[in-house]
Structure 1
Amino acid sequence: MIVLVYLLNVALLLGLGWLLFKQSWAQILKPYLFPALGLKLVCGILLGLLYFHYYGEGDTITYFNASQKLTQLARDDAGAYWRLLLLNEFPSESFKESVPFTRFADFSNSFFLLKVISLFNLLTGSSYYLIGLYFSLFSFWGMARLAATLSIVFPDTKKAAIVALLFFPSVVFWSSGLLKDAVLMGSMCWAMAFVLQLAHQQKQAIATWLLLPLQLYLFVKIKIFFAALLLFLLGSYLLIIWLSRTMKLLQTITAQLQTLAGFIVLAGTIVWQISGIFSLGFILHHLVKTYDGLLALSLGGPHLSYSSLESTIPSIFSNSPKAFFSAIYRPFIGESSEVLYLLLGLENLFLLALTIIAIVSAFSKSWLQHIKLWHVILMLFIVASAIVIGISTPNFGTLSRYRIIFLPFLVYLLLQNRFAQRWLVKM
């Protein structure tokens, strides 16, 4: 029976892979698509091996083990299971207490993930690695779609998009396997590709429109704050590009940036008036509380610390430069002798070198002429995300995982300097 389950799931995975390769946009990524998919699936397996056989604990193990309780409920009482799945109605208080992440079940993205995994348990016979392959494939589909869309809309950046989204080490690894991050990256990148196609008048298949609500739901459910930020920026981009087709004044980058600034001020004013200062205070308090909680677990190893961090605007503002820099370039080589930290240090050293090269390249007289509104949209998302993640996440291991929400876009931008472009041409 177990062999049959594995054979059926492998056949389904192969079928989904074949369907991916048959997509018209996938042809644009050849000959990189197959190696990139293979790397992604391998990383999904390696992630499980890392947690089970090296760390011995971690989010992915917690999610998988906890999901078994929901799956057992499905086998014992299908009606109760579906009420829990769709309505968050627990069969009993004792059952609720036995499952983690249920205190605020309606809002918890971790509990939402448990429900998703429980469905895959039923499909795969509770095979951790098969579920990891499904998650990896979902993540890859969204990220590859975005890489292909960027290649169509901005042809000169094709190889930068492929490297950043499909081959950059930590991006590929942490967006694979049975983690929230795989769902996050797959749905987020899919939504970004959709907006880009819509803004630049690319043809959208009916299936794409039908999948849009699901992808947006997953993105918002997994990371509501980052989803709100990015969807606002994407909506602004879409509106400005549409308006620029009929308004000559909006066809220059200066006018587009001024309009974007106006949108940001307007949105900020509306949010401030609707929610008031207490909402902002809650967000700042949550950031610092998250930092304090993770700091207590990080004191035995290398970590990011602030001399004075309080849940006030001046404190957050004064610590933002350090948070931004640390989220991108730390840990440095030498901050820990552990192999994983050494690998992270090497990647961060490469990022630092790439940044320096990009800055040197920026002294070219013509670099301003190549700036597009899309670049600014990405940069705003990168800066905001890096500050929030840098302030709330002192543990370097966790930081390296969380930062993949913005890291591929940073690499994508950094690879567009004239020196990197000469290297990419040879690929």
Structure 2
Amino acid sequence: MPLPTACLGLVPILTTIDFLLLPFFILIYTGGFWAFRNWRYKDPIVRRYFLPALWFRLAGAFLTALMYQYYYGYGDTFYYYQGVVDIFNAFFRSPITGLEMIVSNYDNYSGEAKDALTYHLLFRQNSAAAVIRTGGFFSLFSFGSFIGTSFGITTLAFLGNWMLYRVFTDIYPKLHLPLAIAVLYVPSLCFWGTGVMKDPLSLAGLGMFVYGLYFLVYKRNRGYILPILALIIGLYYAAVIKAYIALALMPASLVWITLLYKEKIENKTLRMLMGPVLLVFGTAFGALALMQLGSISEKFALENMMVEVVRTQWWLSVSTERDGGTGYSLGMVEPTLMGMLKTFPAAVNVSLFRPYPWEARKVIVLPSAAEALFTLFFTLYVFFRVGVLSTLKALFKDPTVLFCLIFAIIFAFAVGFTSMNFGALARYKIPALPFYFSALVILLSYKKK
């Protein structure tokens, strides 16, 4: 039986008001994005995917709200929403205080702002505070309702995914349909990548960062304002919400941009000679950036992260056994670099291809098992269809495929190593999926050529 939220001292996330406001918000978001689509996109091929992708996300946001309210009865989203309610109430008592809670860090809060908080600890944690402050902003335009706040964060994630899709279709315009499926319509993205949670903000940050990087540094045909804003907002969410997103994204994106620039060299001989040089330079620069990141913030330091993930791994294993649920084990892991690397194949495998059907001990895990099984079969199909040699050639020939796989595999390792629970894994791994599936559909296109 789920523990009633009243016993936890939390406000419920769904009330009668939310159900009454649901049709209103659906109409508002549909009308607003319909007008935006008609103004922004003239290409009928691009336009056809926009609104359906939005509707899938809004449906996912509503379904996850029902799940947390009536199936689990508790969870992080309740605590985040309590913080959102604190901001909303504070704003209508004193707009200055409410805005302060949205734009300032906890350490800089005034006495009035701190007095408005129910749970101070959440605002001290940067990742949780980012969710709450973002939700607090959207709550001001949604009457403080959970469903309106949830739709706001969900559409932010959708826009991030849409930006990622626009980058990929700019490079591969003929793959608009398979890339739409890979980036916009993956079921777990449309379900777990929604709501008042960290995961949709991770998706938003990733897509915006890639968009900003591509159109600001490489393509430069979209002006400067939007790419710069996308890059800043994307980097903020990617780094603050989950540290290992930045750690996976930094080397992958630097290798990607470096190799894209190599393709601009017209002289074939010079291009061949410069390729390895630029790749080594980009990799070294990425490693240097990661070390610098660790010196700026202790949580990004490799040794601190290794200790933390082993500690997290132990706790999730204990809590899974306690709850009698859906855990998995990678064996005993030492908090050293070599100890982590030994688990690399198993961690990547569990992120992308598990739970296997026989490991789905709860109904809630069955969709994840089905998607993981599809991912396994689709991966095997692509590699058998394209061939090992052609796949390797494509990796060296196509910077975007290499970028997608580097990020997806590093991220899959980080998530598989830390989750230790199939329920948590279903949420945590979703940022890797659009990159992994995009790499597969691009590889498959080489065979069709």
TM-score computed with the length of structure 2 as normaliser: 0.82
Deviations 1:227-260 (A, max 9, x none): 25414432443244335434745634x8535532
| Superposition deviation, residue 100 in structure 1 | 4.9
Tell me what 2:118 maps to.
98
| Superposition deviation, residue 207 in structure 1 | 4.7
Which 10-residue stretch deviates more, 52-61 or 267-276?
Answer: 267-276
Query: Separation in 1 of the partners of 2:363 and 2:21?
Result: 39
Query: Separation in 2 of the partners of 1:322 and 1:301?
Result: 20
Which 10-residue stretch deviates more, 54-63 or 201-210?
Answer: 201-210
Aligned length: 418
Shift in CA distance, 8/419, structure 1 to aligned 2, threshold 3 Å: closer
Query: Separation in 2 of the partners of 1:198 and 1:261?
Result: 23
Check the 8 A contact 2:60/2:191 in 1, yes or no.
Answer: yes
The one-letter amino acid of 2:305's match is: I
Which 10-residue stretch deviates more, 138-147 or 401-410?
Answer: 138-147
Task: Give runs of aligned pairs for residues 253-264 of structure 1, distance below 5 A.
Answer: 256=275, 259-264=278-283
| Superposition deviation, residue 199 in structure 1 | 5.4
Task: Give runs of aligned pairs for residues 71-86 of structure 1, distance below 5 A.
Answer: 71-86=88-103
Query: Separation in 2 of the partners of 1:410 and 1:17?
Result: 29
The one-letter amino acid of 1:352's match is: L
Tell me what 2:7 maps to.
none
Shift in CA distance, 379/256, structure 1 to aligned 2, threshold 3 Å: farther
Tell me what 1:396 maps to.
422
Query: Separation in 2 of the partners of 1:393 and 1:322?
Result: 13
Tell me what 1:112 maps to.
130
Query: Separation in 1 of the partners of 2:120 and 2:425?
Result: 23
SS in 2 for 1:317: helix
Q: Does 1:268 align with 2:287?
A: yes
Tell me what 1:384 maps to.
410
SS in 2 for 1:288: helix
Shift in CA distance, 307/225, structure 1 to aligned 2, threshold 3 Å: closer
| Superposition deviation, residue 39 in structure 1 | 1.4
Query: Separation in 1 of the partners of 2:414 and 2:42?
Result: 34
Query: Separation in 2 of the partners of 1:25 and 1:389?
Result: 39
Check the 8 A contact 1:26/1:145 in 2, yes or no.
Answer: no
The one-letter amino acid of 2:364's match is: L
TM-score computed with the length of structure 1 as normaliser: 0.86
Shift in CA distance, 226/201, structure 1 to aligned 2, threshold 3 Å: same
Q: Does 1:241 align with 2:260?
A: yes
Tell me what 1:311 maps to.
335
Check the 8 A contact 2:163/2:211 in 1, yes or no.
Answer: yes
Query: Separation in 2 of the partners of 1:363 and 1:305?
Result: 32
The one of 236, 239, 242 equivalent to 1:223 is: 242
| Superposition deviation, residue 297 in structure 1 | 1.9
Task: Give runs of aligned pairs for residues 3-402 of structure 1, distance below 5 A.
Answer: 10-11=27-28, 14-24=31-41, 27-87=44-104, 88=106, 89-91=109-111, 95=115, 98-102=118-122, 105=124, 108-198=126-216, 201=219, 203-205=221-223, 207-209=225-227, 211-212=229-230, 213-242=232-261, 244-246=263-265, 248=267, 251-252=271-272, 256=275, 259-268=278-287, 272=291, 279-299=301-321, 300-363=324-387, 366-371=390-395, 372-402=398-428
Query: Separation in 2 of the partners of 1:4 and 1:271?
Result: 45
SS in 2 for 1:123: coil
Shift in CA distance, 365/378, structure 1 to aligned 2, threshold 3 Å: closer
| Superposition deviation, residue 12 in structure 1 | 6.0
Check the 8 A contact 1:327/1:386 in 2, yes or no.
Answer: yes
Check the 8 A contact 2:153/2:201 in 1, yes or no.
Answer: yes
Shift in CA distance, 301/421, structure 1 to aligned 2, threshold 3 Å: farther
Query: Separation in 1 of the partners of 2:289 and 2:215?
Result: 29
The one-letter amino acid of 1:91's match is: G
| Superposition deviation, residue 406 in structure 1 | 0.7
Structure 2 gaps of 5+ residues are: 1-16
Structure 1 gaps of 5+ residues are: none
The one-letter amino acid of 1:84's match is: M
Identical amino acids, percent of aligned pairs: 20
Query: Separation in 2 of the partners of 1:141 and 1:270?
Result: 28
Check the 8 A contact 1:357/1:419 in 2, yes or no.
Answer: no
